[in-house]
């Protein structure tokens, strides 16, 4: 699957987002080395802090299905002019399982920025930090 195809898959998730409070849908598509893809969307809550982001939805779906150390790329998309940058909590959660992850961050016109998670979270704290 090309980078653009992974981005397009993430865009299909925008319609599943539950965003009655922010009205800002976000979609994600997380790829595993074997080609399996876990998608996600943001799911908000009237207790705002209980909201889960699209990236973490995809990640917990994957981990709960037995994937842990085989993540290759994630696409993150939103209806924003700027790239829909992953929030700090999502960067940290992804770093736990995939410090070498490639991240595709898309704008509403479907163009995207490609960079590494380590660029987004330099000097990240992860399992190796506790050795």
State the residues that interact with ligand THU by CB under 6 A.
Answer: 19, 22, 24, 26, 42, 44, 51, 53-55, 86-87, 90
Q: Which residues of 29-51 are buried (b: 16+ CB within 10 A; e: fewer)?
A: bbbbeeeebbbbbbbbeeeeeeb
Write out the two tokens for 50. Answer: 């209980």
Q: CB-wise, 31 or 55, nearer to ligand THU? A: 55
Which of the following is catalytic: 5, 8, 44, 55? 55
- Give me 5's structure tokens: 């195809």
Closest to ligand THU by CB, 27 vs 35, is 27
Task: Kindly tell me which of 37 and 86 has the beta carbon lying closer to ligand THU.
Answer: 86
Q: What is the DSSP letter of 27?
A: E
- Residues involved in catalysis: 55
């Amino acid at each position: 699957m090309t980078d653009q195809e992974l981005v397009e898959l993430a865009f299909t998730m925008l319609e599943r987002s539950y965003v009655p409070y922010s009205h800002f849908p976000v979609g994600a598509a997380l790829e595993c080395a074997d080609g399996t893809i876990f998608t996600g969307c943001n799911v908000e809550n009237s207790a705002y802090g209980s909201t889960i982001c699209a990236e973490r939805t995809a990640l917990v779906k994957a981990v709960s299905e037995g994937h842990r150390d085989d993540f290759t790329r994630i696409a993150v998309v939103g209806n924003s002019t700027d790239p829909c940058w992953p929030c700090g909590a999502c960067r940290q959660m992804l770093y736990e399982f995939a410090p070498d992850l490639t991240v595709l961050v898309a704008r509403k016109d479907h163009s995207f920025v490609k960079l590494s998670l380590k660029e987004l979270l330099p000097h990240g704290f992860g399992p190796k930090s506790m050795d």
